[in-house]
Amino acid sequence: MELALGKLPPEVLSKYLLGMTGAPSPDLVVPPSIGVDFGVIRRGGRRRRGRGGEGERYLIVSSDPVTGVRERVGWYAVNVSANDVATSGNRPRFIQSVILLPADATVAAVARLSREMHSTAAGLGITIVGGHTELTPGLDRPIVITTAFALASSFVTAADAREGDAVMITKGAAVEGTAICASDEARFGPGSDGTMLRRARGFYRRLSIVEEAVAAFETGRVHAMHDCTEGGVLGAVYEMSYASGLGFEVEEARIPVAAETAYVCARLGLDPLRLISSGTLLMAVERGGEEEVAAAVRAAGSRAAVIGTFRRGERALARRDGTRERVGEPPTDELWKLVGARGL
């Protein structure tokens, strides 16, 4: 089987990785599984999921790499792992990092990266507890892997969506992808709109979902959450539905796409629904709770929209033109078109 760039397909993960977890432990509450952003370790007391249960304590852990960017690598590295932990409904408290640098890296580059990680973590209230940094042969860009931790009394996972739940997202499609793609104006050729591209580059400031995830969880109306990373909004909905054993129908017309995102994607021939979107929080919300969750998200400084429904049966995208597209497998992220063809 030939593998494509990006995440491994579910069948490969299931067959070759998910069962290879070393020694079993009764304290592992949430083991590795497809579509779930983090693992959960019990620190004492009986298992409880959802809100409440102040007496139980859990350690929530998530790791993520940053591989496809050259600028603001430290900013992205802290945010992507912090976001994954935040989808449990809890604030990340600690982070550890592995930093792999190209052989020609300079001290100035190391200092810039460490300052970015320090300031980003400090802004989120996260303590960096350690890690490893080295120059590695064969790299043409830095690769940073971060692991974030939270201590929690309760949580939700991406596997907890229920039949009939509303599919909601915050912000809009392709938040991270918009910033990454716009990072090099030369990619767009002559006649491009410089003002639009400058605004698009500023989308990196929207990358964090921590505040909106915590606020949404506190309503008690959210059954599951997921960060829309690789594969974009459509990839995240697929992963949550897969993890929860459900199908879905989402409507293209209801998915917010910012003008800057639409511009960038149109110029580069990319699908915004399949473009990496850290900064977009996906939620499965019980019916009747949509406005309460949207209000909580607004109070946290963001916005939320209902884009579809989780249900039994097939996974489908209702297109603007009235056609229906079956989503039979997780989509390959559009960003890899740039990495493979022209580089980032």
Which region among 5-19, 129-143, 196-210 has the lowest average model confidence (pLDDT)?
5-19
CATH 3.90.650.10 applies to domain 166-341: yes
Question: Which residue matches tokens 């089987």?
Answer: 1
pLDDT for the residue 106: 96
Of residues 128 and 337, which shows the higher confidence score?
128
d(Cα 68, Cα 231) in Å, to the nearest integer? 13
Domain boundaries of the chain, sorted by first residue: 25-152, 166-341
pLDDT exceeds cutoff 70 at 104: yes
CA distance 83 to 14: 24
Q: What is the chain's mean pLDDT, rounded?
A: 92
- What are the backbone dihedrals phi and psi of residue 260, each rounded to the nearest 5 degrees, phi first? -65, -40
Segment 255-264, tens digit of pLDDT: 999 999 999 9
> Which pLDDT tens digit goes with each residue over 156-194?
999 999 999 999 999 999 999 999 999 888 899 898 999
Q: At what angle do helices 107-124 and 73-86 cross, to 10 degrees?
A: 30
Q: For the chain, what percent of residues have pLDDT higher than 70?
A: 94
Q: Give the count of beta carbons closer than 10 Å to the beta carbon of residue 315.
A: 22
pLDDT at position 49 = 54
Query: What mean pLDDT is predicted for residues 41-51?
Result: 65
Structure confidence at residue 250 as a pLDDT band (50, 70, 90): very high
Residues 34 and 32: their CA atoms lie apart, in Å, by 7
What is d(CA 32, CA 28) in angstroms, rounded to the nearest whole number? Answer: 10
Is a pLDDT exceeding 90 seen at residue 9? no
**What pLDDT does 340 receive?**
57
Tokens at 66, concatenated: 């940053």
pLDDT (average), residues 32-60: 74
The domain covering 25-152 belongs, at the CATH homologous superfamily level, to PurM-like, N-terminal domain (3.30.1330.10)
Band of the pLDDT at 71, cuts 50, 70, 90? confident
